[in-house]
């Protein structure tokens, strides 16, 4: 039987990045002692007040269909949140509620990108980006973000990638996997490129509430960018609510109408009781779970400092997000071989970062969402593994 040509654009190295994770998860399910540091789960629980509201909403009978782009009170809460953070007016009509940030990225790509157009994406990039973009028939043009530049792309490289076919720039700040947080100066320069060449800017800001030395800044705040910027976020990381699948996109009002029609023939909206709970999360915990940010701050310093004292390893402290990038190139092993041996020898599951892009070749992405005790134990096991390589 014949399948649509587009299915070939949904596969590839990025889609296969989770192979070692699948092996590790299977071993853990069989009772083996495996420390899972390969995906962005957290040891923090969703807030009690949010869970209680979900229960209450179910008891109120909030299981009916909702407006496809989100119930009005939630759209109002998200608009107020974005306006407070960005300093620019955001109306509820600009808010489209989605089933997680990934759903928002997919829907935006479907509404913005034409077959044959080009989309510039700094890499390393999250592994779903290629399929999300190329599934529309668009061509993804990657721009490297070198490790020696703390995984920030240069404006010259971005500008040099623009052609008459370029339709959009997609970026993530903070970045997954690297944790790079774009500065205001960098975003101002990117904004000027967008205005000069009439480009969309899609800004994935899921980790925006989880930065360290520097505050997160959104390009939607810049003059002339409100009408061409899509700011995407969710409650997954800030509120430990990944499984709730509640995200959103802040978009121009005309794009919201297009996304409404797309939602009509795809998800048909988001669960009403979850939206009720999301209002409580946003209004009562506006900055995300404070204890979680403190924990991640302490973990990145303790974990990275420990690994940086081991010969052959270099652990880069992220500027934001929940992942550390471990440079294993000096060991002489590829990231995949290192990760595979580390899993076999010490029972630690990490993610080889090569699939995020060539700039991440030779790095492992390590999730700091494990408990303090598990991260400390993982560090000791990595030390023991390093001794076997001498």
Task: For residue range 93-102, list pLDDT tens digits in order.
Answer: 999 999 999 9
List, for residues 300-357, the tens digit of each pLDDT value: 999 999 999 999 999 999 999 999 999 999 999 999 999 999 999 999 999 999 989 9
Q: How many residues does the chain have?
A: 390
List, for residues 63-120, the tens digit of each pLDDT value: 999 999 999 999 999 999 999 999 999 999 999 999 999 999 999 999 999 999 999 9
pLDDT of residue 3: 87
pLDDT of residue 341: 96
pLDDT of residue 194: 98
pLDDT of residue 237: 96
H helices then E strands: how many in the chain? 12, 13
The mean pLDDT of the chain is: 95
pLDDT of residue 15: 53
Gap between the Cα atoms of 116 and 289, Å rounded: 42
Q: Which residues pair with 327 in a beta bridge?
A: 314, 363
pLDDT of residue 16: 55
The mean per-residue pLDDT over the stretch 10-21 comes to 68
The mean per-residue pLDDT over the stretch 251-277 comes to 96
The mean per-residue pLDDT over the stretch 217-246 comes to 97
Of the chain, the percentage scoring pLDDT greater than 90 comes to 92
Which pTM was predicted?
A: 0.94
Gap between the Cα atoms of 317 and 320, Å rounded: 9
Cα–Cα separations (whole angstroms), residue 360 to 91, 157, 180: 38, 17, 13
Residue 130 has pLDDT above 70, yes or no: yes
Q: Domains along the chain?
A: 5-45+289-389 (3.90.1150.10), 48-284 (3.40.640.10)
**Chain-centre distance for alpha carbon 145:** 16
∠ CA 273-279-288 to the nearest 5 degrees? Answer: 120
Q: Is the peptide bond before 365 cis (omega within 30 degrees of 0)?
A: no
pLDDT of residue 13: 61
SS3 252: coil
The mean per-residue pLDDT over the stretch 139-161 comes to 97
């Amino acid at each position: 039987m014949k399948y649509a040509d587009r299915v070939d654009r949904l596969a590839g190295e990025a889609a296969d990045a989770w192979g070692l994770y699948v092996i590790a998860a299977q071993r853990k399910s069989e009772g083996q002692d495996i420390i899972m540091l390969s995906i962005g789960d957290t040891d923090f629980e969703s807030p009690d007040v949010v869970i209680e509201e979900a229960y209450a909403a179910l008891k109120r009978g909030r299981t009916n269909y909702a407006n496809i782009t989100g119930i009005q009170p939630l759209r109002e809460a998200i608009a107020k949140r974005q306006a407070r953070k960005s300093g620019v007016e955001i109306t509820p009509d600009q808010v489209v509620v989605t089933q997680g940030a990934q759903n928002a990225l997919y829907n935006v790509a479907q509404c913005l990108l034409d077959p044959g157009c080009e989309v510039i994406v700094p890499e390393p990039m999250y592994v779903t980006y290629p399929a999300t973009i190329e599934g529309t028939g668009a061509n993804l043009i990657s721009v490297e973000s070198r490790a020696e530049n703390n995984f920030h792309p240069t404006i010259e490289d971005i500008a040099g990638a623009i052609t008459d076919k370029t339709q959009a720039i997609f970026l993530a700040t903070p970045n997954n996997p690297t944790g790079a947080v774009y500065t205001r100066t960098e975003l101002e320069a990117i904004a000027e490129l967008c205005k000069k060449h009439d480009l969309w800017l899609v800004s994935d800001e899921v980790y925006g509430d989880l930065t360290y030395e520097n505050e997160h800044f959104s390009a939607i705040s810049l003059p002339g960018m409100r009408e061409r910027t899509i700011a995407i976020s969710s409650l997954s990381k800030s509120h430990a609510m990944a499984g709730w699948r509640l995200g959103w996109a802040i978009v121009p009002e005309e794009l919201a109408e297009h996304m409404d029609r797309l939602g009509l023939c795809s998800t048909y909206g988001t669960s009403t009781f979850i939206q009720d709970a999301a209002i409580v999360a946003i209004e009562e915990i506006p900055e995300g779970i404070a204890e979680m940010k403190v924990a991640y701050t302490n973990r990145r310093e303790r974990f990275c400092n420990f690994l940086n004292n081991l010969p052959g390893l270099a652990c880069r402290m992220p500027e934001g997000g929940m992942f550390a990038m471990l440079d294993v190139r000096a060991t002489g092993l590829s990231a995949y071989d290192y990760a595979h041996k580390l899993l076999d020898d010490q029972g630690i599951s990490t993610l080889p970062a090569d699939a995020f892009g060539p700039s991440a070749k030779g790095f492992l992405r390590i999730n700091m969402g494990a408990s303090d005790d598990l991260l400390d134990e993982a560090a000791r096991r990595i030390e023991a593994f390093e001794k076997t390589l001498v």
